[in-house]
Chains A and B, each alone.
Chain A
C-alpha cells in the first residue's frame, strides 16, 4: 500500500466515521489495550489502530494446528514497523483504512465494531468489503491483506509448510536447480 495510492481513503473514511462518531467517542481504550500483546508498544500506529490490525490479521491468517500463527510471525508488528519507513500521507491513509475496517460497517447498517464482532460477523464484514461497491473499501481491504500475507510468508517458520527451502546463500556451493526435468 502506498501513501499515493490511499489518498482518497482518509476523506471517505472521515465521512463514514462522521456518521458513526458517537461510537468513536465512546472510549473503549481498555478494549483495545487488551488486544495488544503485553509489553508491546507500536512504533507507528496508535494502540487502537494496532489492536484493529491484530484482530484483522488474526482473521486473515487464522490459527492452524502445527502452523506458525500470526503472533509467531509478528505480522502486525512488522506492518507497523514497515510503515515507519514511509512518509506522512501513507501512514495517515493506512490508519484511516484500519478505522474503515473497524467502523465502516456503519455505512452498511452494522453498528458493531469489527474488533467486537464474532468470527462469523467478521467474515461477513470482510466479505462486504471485498464485494463493496465502494472502491475505497475494496482498496483498504486489499492493501492490508496484501501486506499481511506477504509478511507472514517471509517468516522462515512458514517455509517448511509451503515446501520452500529458503535462501541458498548460507550454502557455500548452491545446489543445482531442483526442479529441472530431463
Chain B
C-alpha cells in the first residue's frame, strides 16, 4: 500500500512495530526484512512516488532532476563548491545512480574494524550478504553491447597509458542502453530499490507513505516512541499543512547521508560524543572533457561499463601525497548537465555545445580525507560545510590529470578543464597546467553523490553515534541504517555496502534485539 500527497485529506495517526524513514538502499532493505519477519512496518519517504507505469519517467532532464533529486538538483555546500547529489523519491538515490555495484574492499573494512572498532562487518561476515544482494540485483559485469563509445574510448586511452581498465558490475536486467540512468530508468531495467526492495517490502505487508517528511524522532526516558512528520504537497514542494504522528518502539532512520543526521539533530537526541553531524565525506567528483574528431554521444547507452581501480588508494612519498585516492571512470552527462558543467559562456560556450556529440569526459570519485560537517539553521534546515582542501584538492588535481591523459591517449583533439577560463590541454606534456587551475568556490563545481559519516558506527559512545548493531548509543530502539554510519567513505560506490550493512542490522533486529515484537505462534 502506498499513500501519496493526493490521498492525504487530514492529519493522521499511525502505529507500527517499526517506522523506517527513507526508502533507498538502506531503508528498503531493512523494511523488507522486518516485514518478512512479520513486523508491522511503516515506511516514510519525504520524496514522491514516481513510476514508469504512470509515465513519470519522461527522460527530460529538467523534469527528472526536479522529481528524483534532492533539492531539485540545486543543493550545494555552504561555499557552493560541492553540489549535493542525493535522492528524494521512493527508491532514494538508487533511482538515479549509475547501477555500478561493488563490494566494500577488504582493506576498507579492515580500517573500519581496526581504527574505528567496527565489529560484525568483516569481509567474511558480509560475504553472504554481498552474494545475496548481487543475486537480487542481477549484478553482472557489463556486457559488450553496453559499451558505448565513451566506454570504448576510456578503455583505449587507459590501456594506451598503462592503466588497467576493467568491466564494472552492473545492477541491470533487460537494459536497452537508453542512457537515461541518471533520470531514472523508464524501463525498470536498472535494479533500483524502486523495482526491487520496495515492491518486495510492500508485498510482505509493509506500508509506504510518500511525500511524508519526518520532522522529528520522538523519545522518552531513553527509548524511542515514534515520529512526527509533515505531509508534503508535491506540486509546491512545501508542507501541505497535514501532519502525521506515528508511534513505534523501533525507528530506523535511513534518510541518506546528507539528511539522517539532520533529523537526529532536529530531534535533539543526546550527542555526548559530539560526532553527530560531523565526519561528512561524499566523494566529490572532478571531471575533464575531451573534444574528439568523431561522434561520442556520451548520453547514450550506460555510464561506467568500465573503469579503473588503479588509483583507488592514495600513495605517498616521504609523507607527502603522490597520486591516487579515487576511482576513475568514463563519464556520462545528459546534454543540459553537460552544458552547465562545461566552462565559459557566450559564443565560446555555444561553439562547444554545437559539438556536444563529440565531447567525451572522464570523471573521478575522490575518497575525501578531510571531513566536512553539518549544522542546522534557525528553521531546522541543514547547512553543509564541506569543500576540497588539503590532500583532497591534490587528489582532485591528480584525477583530472589522469583523466586528461586517458582522453588524449584515446584521441581527443583537446582536453577542456572546467575551470573559469576553460584551460585547454592538447598534449600530455601540458597536463601540469592542472596543478594551477583555479578550483575553489565559484571556480569549479564538484558533484558529491556518496555522503556518509555523520552518525558514525563504533563500540564507544564517547567516539561514535551508533553501536555495531546500528542502534543509537543513548536512545534504545533508534537505529540508523544508511551510509551515515560509515566511519569513512568505502572507496567504491556505496550502494552495495549500504545494503549489506542494512542486512546485518535487520538480522540483529529480527533475531537478537531484546525489544523485538513477539508474534503469536
Contacts and interface: CB of A to CB of B under 8 A. Distances in A.
B436 to A, nearest CB: 15
A50 interface: no
Nearest to A90: B74
B490 to A, nearest CB: 26
Interface string A121-146: 00100100011100111111111011
A38 B443 CA distance: 36
Nearest to A5: B76
A143 B80 contact: yes
Interface stretch (A16-24, A28-36, A108-116, A173-181): A173-181
B384 A174 contact: no
A6 B81 CA distance: 11
A177 B377 contact: no
Interface string B42-80: 000000000000010111111000100001101111111
A145 B335 contact: no
Interface residues of A, number: 61
B59 A179 contact: no
A138 B74 contact: no
Given A4-B78, A139-B79, A162-B354, A88 B384 contact: no
Contacts of B149: 179-181
Contact of B300 (A126, A136, A177): A177
A168 interface: yes
A152 interface: yes
B447 to A, nearest CB: 12
Contacts of B297: 163, 178-179
The CB with the most chain B CB atoms within 10 A, among A3, A149, A159, A178, is that of A149
Interface residues of B, number: 66
B339 A5 contact: no
Nearest to B72: A85
Contacts of B84: 2
B379 A88 contact: yes
Nearest to B144: A180
A87 B76 contact: no
A60 interface: yes
Nearest to A84: B236
Contacts of B300: 177-179
Contacts of A2: 71, 74-76, 80, 84
Interface string B327-338: 000000001110
B339 A153 contact: yes
Contacts of A142: 80, 442-443, 445
A138 B441 CA distance: 8
- Of A89, A136, A142, A152, chain B has the most CB atoms within 10 Å of the CB of A142
Interface in A147-171: 147, 149-154, 158-159, 161-164, 167-169
A174 B177 CA distance: 9
A61 B350 contact: yes
Given A5-B80, A141-B442, A167 B59 contact: yes
A62 B344 CA distance: 13
Interface stretch (B178-186, B309-317, B456-464, B474-482): B178-186
A177 B79 contact: no
Contacts of A137: 442
A135 B55 CA distance: 42
Given A61-B350, A139-B80, A179-B296, A4 B301 contact: no
B5 to A, nearest CB: 14
Contacts of B58: 167, 169
B299 interface: yes
Contact of A174 (B61, B66, B72, B178): B178
A138 B445 contact: no
Given A3-B381, A86-B72, A145 B356 contact: no
Given A89-B381, A154-B336, 14 more contacts: A1-B74, A7-B383, A61-B345, A62-B350, A64-B347, A64-B350, A138-B442, A147-B340, A150-B61, A151-B62, A162-B339, A167-B60, A177-B145, A179-B301
14 contacts: A1-B74, A5-B78, A60-B345, A61-B345, A61-B350, A82-B72, A84-B236, A86-B74, A87-B238, A145-B345, A153-B353, A154-B60, A158-B353, A179-B148
Question: Would you list the 8 A-B pairs with minimal beta carbon distance, nearest first?
Answer: A138-B442, A167-B59, A5-B76, A163-B357, A179-B297, A177-B301, A153-B336, A177-B177
